[in-house]
Each structure stands twice: as C-alpha cells, then as structure tokens.
A and B are shown apart, each in its own frame.
Chain A
Amino acid sequence: MPNALSIQHLTKTYKNNVQALKDISLDIVKGDFFALLGPNGAGKSTAIGIICSLVNKTAGSIKVYGYDLDKEKDKAKSYIGLVPQEFNFNVFEPVFEIVVNQAGYYGIPRKKAAQRAELLLKQLGLWEKRRDMARELSGGMKRRLMIARALVHEPQLLILDEPTAGVDIEIRRSMWVFLEEINRQGTTIILTTHYLEEAEALCRNIAIINNGEIIENTKMKTLLARLHSETFILDLKENINKVPAVAGYKIALLDSSTLSVEVNKDQTVNEVFDELSRLNLHVTSMRNKSSRLEELFVCLTGNQIKDDAQG
C-alpha cells in the first residue's frame, strides 16, 4: 500500500548557492497527523513548496499516494491541498468566489463547487462573510478561508504551513477540533507550526528538520519519552525568601512566592509536595515551564546549531 507521501533524496540548492535541503528522505503513512518542525530557515517551507509544485527541486523524487510528481503530475497534485504560510488569495475577491474558483481549477463543476464551498464555509464559521471581500476579513478568518479553499477539492493529503500563526487561542482551539475531525475521516495531515504544544496535542508522528537535514523522524510518544526531565512552576500560598531544600531536586526561587522545580524521569512530584508540606509551604497551582516537545526541540536543534558552529 503506497504512503500518503514518499520523499526520496530530495535536494534543493537555490541560485544563490544556499542549500535549503540536503538529500532528505521521508515517508508519511496514510491517515497520519504528521508534524514537520524546525527552526526558521530550516527548510520546511522549501520542502512544502516542492511537494506543492511551487518550488523547483534540484534532485530527488516525490510520490503522493503512489503517484510520481514528475511523471503523473496531475494525479499527484489532485491529492494535495495546501494551506500556505502567507495569505495568497486575491484580497479583492469575495470569500465565496475564492473557494469556488479554486474548485474550478481542479475541474469541479461550479454547482458542485458551490455546494462544497457552502458546507466548508459553514463548518469554518465564514458563511456569514461569504459576500465580503477577502481583505475585509480578520487574520483568523483569512486563515480559515485558506483552509476552506484547500479542502474544496477534497484532498487526501492536507499540508498546513503554520495554519494558526497569529490566531487567537479560541479560534486556534476550534481549528484543532476541525482538523482532528477531518483527520479522523481519513485525510492525512502534515502540519508545520511554531506552536509546539499544537504539534504535541495533534500529531502522532514527527520529523524535525534543521539546516536542510532531517535530524529526527519518529513517533511523537517515542520522542517525548526521551525527555530526561521536566521543569514545573509552583505557585506558593506563602511568601518566602530562601529556596526550600528538597534533597535530590533542583529548585530555584523565581520570586517570593514562585518556585521552579526540575523533576527527573526517575523522580516524582509527590516527593516535592511532601517535603514542601513538611516545611509548611502550600502549593496553590502548578504548570509546566514549557511544553515537553518544546524542551526537546530546543535541545535537539540547539545541539545541532552548536555542532555546526564547532564543526
């Protein structure tokens, strides 16, 4: 059974000799919710651009649902829906027309396209805005418009390049629910994002790309299991001026009523609570200092940057 996406030895060197991708290979199975992460300039958007025929590759091959992007271009392209990083619709066109015209480019009759556009715009909360010019939409609405446009030809592979950038948390959460639902219905999703908690919450598999190379490609769970320690922030009821001593734990005083506590894989938070109770200190709330994926991401890409600098 072919993969949803199969990239083999993909290389891209721009005219200014910048090598954006260095012989990357990647397989994404059907039905996956896949995170493609990396720092700015790592090569994510170049890879997506090549998959979507917006950037010319230097070498390598790509298959989409078994169809070679060079040899069976139209078949391969018909499987892909793209939500790009930048707004790329005509801001002087009405919302409804943007979605229906996109269906037209895929050869979908206007009547059917109009039905699909209506359904998608309703699902994404844009139906009331269908007659508005795209330039009149808010940032969050524009992002949702691009999702509706990408889905109008019912692609099997949806590529989302930072779909929630600049979107408020409420809309972001509703977009997560929507994306999870279409993934449940069978659409393979590739997500790039700078919100790592988003990737952690949604994606089952992950690849991290840095300096044009894939430095990690595994299951999300496997990657997160590699985290040796987590740092928690504890808010105290009492004000203190000295770090409470809890044997075996790295504790720092952030301010008079806030502690940061590093808990290793073989330790438990209970021991910290027990010791704080013994010292008559009461914890009112607790949270992660950063998402687990974020800590790993910084660790992985940070090490790579250091290695490059030393090499």
Chain B
Amino acid sequence: MTLEQQFIAFKTIVVKEILRFARIWVQTIVPAVITTSLYFLIFGNLIGSQLGDINGYSYIDYIVPGIILMSVITNAYGNVVSSFYGHKFQHHVEEMLVSPMPNSVLLAGFVVGGVARALVVGSVVTLVATFYTNIHFEHIFITLAVVILTAILFSLAGFVNAVYANSFDDISIIPTFVLTPLTYLGGVFFSIEMLSTFWQNIALFNPILYMVNAMRYGMLGVSDIDITMAFIIIGVFLACLYGFCLYLLHNGIGLRQ
C-alpha cells in the first residue's frame, strides 16, 4: 500500500471509532462527568475544605490534575478494549485482517480513537473542574504532552487486553483489579510524602504515580518525583507496549488460529 492508501485506511478506522463513541455518548462521556463531579464535590469541596494545604495548594487544587488524568486513563483504555474486543467478538475485525492494511496502521487507528475519546472526556472534566476551582496551567506543553502520551499508553494497554480477552468478563477484570487500584494508589488524592518510607518505595513501582505527578507538575508546578524520570518511564512503557502490540498482531495472537 502507498502512504496515501495507508492514510485512507487509518482515517477510516479513526472516523469510525470517533463516531462509535460519539453515538453512544451517554455511555462514554456522561459517566465520567458525573463521577468526577462527585469527586470534586465530596473530596474537593466537602472533605477538602477541612484539610490543610498540600505543597502550598488547597486540597481541591491538588487533586484536580490527578482526577483529569484518571479520566484520561480510564477512557483511553476503556475505548480501545471495548471497541477492539467488540470487533473480535462479532468477527468484523476480519474486515481489517483480510485487507492489505499494515498492522501498524490498524493499531494506530484504534489508538487514535482511544486518544480522541480521552481528550474529549479530559476536556469535559477540566471544564467541570472550573465550576469548583480556578484552573491554571503552569506548563501547558508539559500538561498536553503528559495527557497525550498517557492516553496513547493506555490505549495500547487496552488493545493488549482486548487481544487476550475471550469474554466480556475479561475486558473488565484488568480495569477493575489492576487499573483502578493503581490509579487510586498513584497519588491522585495524596502526595506520597504522606506515606512512610517503606510505602513510598513501594509506590515508586507504580507507573501511574509518575504520570499523575508529571500532570501535576504541568498544571501546578509541583511534583513528588523528578519530571524527567516521569517522561522516561512513560517513554519506556510506550515503546514496550507498542512493540508488544505489533508482535501480537504480526503473530495473530488472539486473532488468528
């Protein structure tokens, strides 16, 4: 396929993916708005007002970056895992597998679909946050870079989950038992300085901690960890997941008998 043909194939998947989550916006966008509104109301306003500042910021200001990133993570992951598994389950992934489209284009199409939903939901959540506090961006490009890279990373992770999934249960196990605990323990609602040294060291093995802190650095200018290290960790995970996804597609694991 020529580059132009590859771009048409890529665009076909992306448009299809965006239309898919836009068509079912009540399932894909509204829940994130409701959940995050509750976080802002309960943790930010009601409980947060009783707490002192963290790193010089009020509690609600401190948790806003993490909550936005949490919605980016869950929506990027959720979009790709449910869409690609749906393609597998109904066998219409075969429409793509029989075509001459390269695996990298197929993967990019689904990942960009996931990123698009993450950006839409992330933007809506940011808008909701403005009702509760004043949003400002200390380093706007770092913020954007963290959001986009994290969305790509979790779109790739969702793709891996979908490839291995054999039932609808399998696409909810990882988000429930791995993703949610890692996100909650990733410093969305607290600074790891609040933890004992032992738990601080344990927390450093959680990759989401680096992303949340990089996001917080982008918005507030404060972080529990070195920002360069955060980008290195994100980059390493991205490279590994991208390579692994292409390996899965090349060998047809979970797709071809």
- A and B: bona fide binding partners: yes
Q: How far is the CA of A256 from the CA of B249 in the complex (A)?
A: 65
Report chain A residues within 8 Å CB of B58.
Answer: none
In the complex, what residue of chain B is closest to A74 when comparing beta carbons? Answer: B100
A176 to chain B, nearest CB (A): 24
Confirm or deny: B92 has a beta carbon within 8 angstroms of a beta carbon on chain A: yes
Report chain A residues within 8 Å CB of B92.
Answer: 88-90
Q: How far is the CA of A54 from the CA of B256 in the complex (A)?
A: 5
The one of A15, A80, A90 in contact with B90, judged by C-beta atoms closer than 8 angstroms, is A90
- Of B1-9, B196-204, B215-223, the one touching chain A: B1-9
The one of B5, B95, B100 in contact with A102, judged by C-beta atoms closer than 8 angstroms, is B95
Confirm or deny: A116 has a beta carbon within 8 angstroms of a beta carbon on chain B: no
B95 engages A88 (CB within 8 Å): yes
Report chain A residues within 8 Å CB of B102.
Answer: 74
A104 engages B94 (CB within 8 Å): no
Q: How far is the CA of A84 from the CA of B91 in the complex (A)?
A: 11
Summarize A's interface: helix, strand, loop or mixed. Answer: loop
Q: How far is the CA of A77 from the CA of B97 in the complex (A)?
A: 10
Report chain A residues within 8 Å CB of B16.
Answer: 101
B101 engages A105 (CB within 8 Å): yes
Report chain A residues within 8 Å CB of B6.
Answer: 107
The one of B91, B96, B97 in contact with A86, judged by C-beta atoms closer than 8 angstroms, is B91
A105 engages B256 (CB within 8 Å): no
B97 engages A53 (CB within 8 Å): yes
A104 engages B9 (CB within 8 Å): yes
Mark out the residues of chain A between 1 and 40 whose CB falls within 8 Å of any chain B CB in the assembled complex.
14-15
In the complex, what residue of chain B is closest to A86 when comparing beta carbons? Answer: B91
B98 engages A54 (CB within 8 Å): yes
Given A56-B256, A77-B100, A105–B95 Cβ distance below 8 Å?
Answer: yes
Q: How far is the CA of A14 from the CA of B257 in the complex (A)?
A: 7
Q: How far is the CA of A110 from the CA of B8 in the complex (A)?
A: 8
Scoring A residues 62 to 86 as 1 if CB is less than 8 Å from chain B, else 0, what string do you get? 0000000000011101101010101
Q: How far is the CA of A61 from the CA of B257 in the complex (A)?
A: 17
Q: How far is the CA of A149 from the CA of B4 in the complex (A)?
A: 21
Q: How far is the CA of A52 from the CA of B256 in the complex (A)?
A: 11
Q: How far is the CA of A49 from the CA of B257 in the complex (A)?
A: 9
The one of A14, A54, A104 in contact with B97, judged by C-beta atoms closer than 8 angstroms, is A54
In the complex, what residue of chain A is closest to B101 when comparing beta carbons? Answer: A105
Confirm or deny: A91 has a beta carbon within 8 angstroms of a beta carbon on chain B: yes
Show 28 A/B contacts (Cβ-Cβ < 8 Å), sorted by A: A52-B97, A54-B94, A74-B1, A74-B102, A77-B98, A77-B99, A84-B94, A86-B91, A88-B90, A88-B91, A88-B92, A91-B90, A101-B12, A104-B9, A104-B11, A104-B12, A105-B12, A105-B95, A105-B101, A106-B5, A106-B9, A106-B100, A107-B2, A107-B4, A107-B5, A107-B8, A110-B8, A153-B99
B: which residues have CB within 8 A of A?
1-2, 4-6, 8-9, 11-13, 16, 87, 90-92, 94-102, 251-252, 256-257
